Amino acid sequence: MRVQSTSLDFRDFLLRIGNGTEQTVNNDMIRIPEQMVIPWEDKESSLNHLIQEIYPDLQQNAYNSNYIINRAILATKNEYADAINDIVVNSFPGNPTYYYSYDSVLNDMHNLYQPEFLNSITPNGLPPHKLTLKEGSPVICIRNLDPINGICNGTRLICCTFHKNVIEAEIATGNHQGKRVFIPRIPFMPSQDTKLPFAFKRKQFPIRLAFALTINKSQGQTIPHVGIYLPEPVFSHGQLYVALSRGISDITTKVLVKNSNVHRKKGVYTRNVVYKEVLNNQNLVKNLIP
């Protein structure tokens, strides 16, 4: 597939977003270029429009790995990415394979926490209790399993064959692209900052579906056809820049924003979070390095 080069106007727009110099209204609201906008109508129809824009003719191209890996929709939170993944995988051809996690609480001598409750929670950094996968569907690894062989946190793969306790997949990005690998189930423990009142353990495959990703998980990747789903504004420094800069063109980058109106202003607006003190510190470090 031929990749479009980044246009000068799009590159300049990205630099202004990243530097916090793009013109704003109401302090931090910036206007999205019209050619990038997916209009917000209602949640269901607008989201379906975005999915169709990024994944056109999905049924016909489902087993074309270049088509699949050159596309993704980015969202601010896992819950939004998971909802999009559920929609797309249900439209993907083939029969689903389901993998359920084994959840437990350490030292729960009195069985205070029932499996149904444990299955319903997904602390940050853990895979979901239920994985719905199909042959040809894209996934992203969320742990450094075997860095020497290319299975790292952030590696995107294409599902090939499903077994009871292992998944065969093909690495789709990076230096090991095309290599067949095996993904095992592994135990997970959430970080202490989740503030759970118990020690939670989940055994599951260290992957998530990757039709949609969180913005943070997409860092470092180039995605020729990228959609950005913003039912709420970005909430951290540089997050909007990271999302927009995954794309390569203002023609193949599409943005869906809820509550995008600014009083007496035409166009679609969204929040850009840039802390100037962070940029100043970064520049200071660069100047100190010989």
The residues that bridge with 255 in the sheet, in sequence order, are: 37, 228
What percent of the chain clears pLDDT 70, i.e. is strictly above it? 92
Q: What is the pLDDT of residue 1?
A: 37
Identify the H or E element spanning 99. Answer: strand 97-100
User: Averaged over 133-141, what is the pLDDT?
Assistant: 97
Asked if 234 and 76 count as a contact pair (C-beta separation under 8 A), the reply is yes
DSSP 125-178: TS--SEEEE-TT-EEEE-S-SBGGGTB-TT-EEEEEEE-SSEEEEEE-SSTTTT
Domain ranges in the chain? 1-76+217-290, 77-214
Which single residue is written with the structure tokens 């540089």?
238
How far, in Å, CA of 229 to CA of 219, rounded?
A: 16
Q: What is the pLDDT of residue 4?
A: 47
For residue 110, pLDDT beyond 80: no
Q: Who contacts 132 (Cβ-Cβ below 8 Å, separation ≥6)?
A: 86, 89, 96, 97, 98, 209
The residues that bridge with 102 in the sheet, in sequence order, are: 203
Computed over every residue of the chain, the mean pLDDT equals 91
| 151-165 pLDDT tens trace | 999 999 999 999 999
| 46-84 pLDDT tens trace | 999 999 999 999 999 999 999 999 999 999 999 999 999
Half-sphere CA count of 184, side-chain side, radius 13 A: 5
Say whether pTM exceeds 0.85. Answer: yes
Asked if 8 and 250 count as a contact pair (C-beta separation under 8 A), the reply is no
Amino acid of residue 145: L
User: Averaged over 186-210, what is the pLDDT?
Assistant: 88
How far, in Å, CA of 180 to CA of 114, rounded?
A: 38
DSSP 20-86: T-S--BTTTEEEEPGGGEEPPS-HHHHHHHHHHHHSTTHHHHTT-HHHHHTEEEEESSHHHHHHHHH
Q: What angle do CA 98, 100, 102 make, to 5 degrees?
A: 165
Q: What is the pLDDT of residue 44?
A: 94
**pLDDT-based confidence at residue 265 (cuts at 50, 70, 90):** confident
